[in-house]
C-alpha cells in the first residue's frame, strides 16, 4: 500500500527553520551566551531560548536604463543641456 503524499517527508524538510530546539541545541546556545555552565547547572528546567528565523528582504532589481531609439538617459540630457547653454551664450 502506498503512503499518502501529505505523510511523506520532503528531502530538504530537516533543513527548514524549526521553532522547537532539542535539549542539546538549547544547551549549546546557552553555553555560547554564557548562561549555562556544564559543571554547575542542571540540564532540566532550562530557560527558554529564542530561535527566530532571520528573514532578509527581497533584493530590488537594479533600475536599468536602456539607450534604445526614443529613450534618453539622464546623463545624455544633462550633457545636452550643458552643451546647449554654452552654445547659446
The phi and psi torsions of 11 (rounded to 5 degrees) equal -60, -40
> Which tens digits make up the pLDDT trace of 68-78?
555 555 555 55
With a cut of 50, list the residues of the chain below it in pLDDT.
none
Tell me the percentage of the chain whose pLDDT exceeds 90: 19
DSSP per residue, the chain: -PPPTTTSPPTTGGGS--SSPPHHHHHHHHHHTT---TTTS-SSSPPP------PPPPPPPP-PPP--TT---HHHHHHHHHHHHHHH-
pLDDT of residue 87: 56
What does the radius of gyration of the chain's CA atoms come to, in whole angstroms? 30
Amino acid at each position: 500500500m502506498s503512503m499518502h503524499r501529505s505523510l511523506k517527508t520532503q528531502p530538504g524538510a530537516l533543513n527548514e527553520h524549526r521553532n522547537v530546539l532539542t535539549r542539546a541545541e538549547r544547551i549549546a546556545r546557552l553555553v555560547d551566551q554564557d548562561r549555562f555552565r556544564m559543571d554547575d547547572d542542571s540540564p532540566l528546567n532550562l530557560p527558554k531560548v529564542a530561535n527566530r528565523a532571520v528573514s532578509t528582504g527581497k533584493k530590488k532589481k537594479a533600475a536599468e536604463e536602456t539607450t534604445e531609439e526614443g529613450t534618453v538617459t539622464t546623463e545624455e540630457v544633462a550633457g545636452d543641456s550643458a552643451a546647449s547653454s554654452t552654445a547659446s551664450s
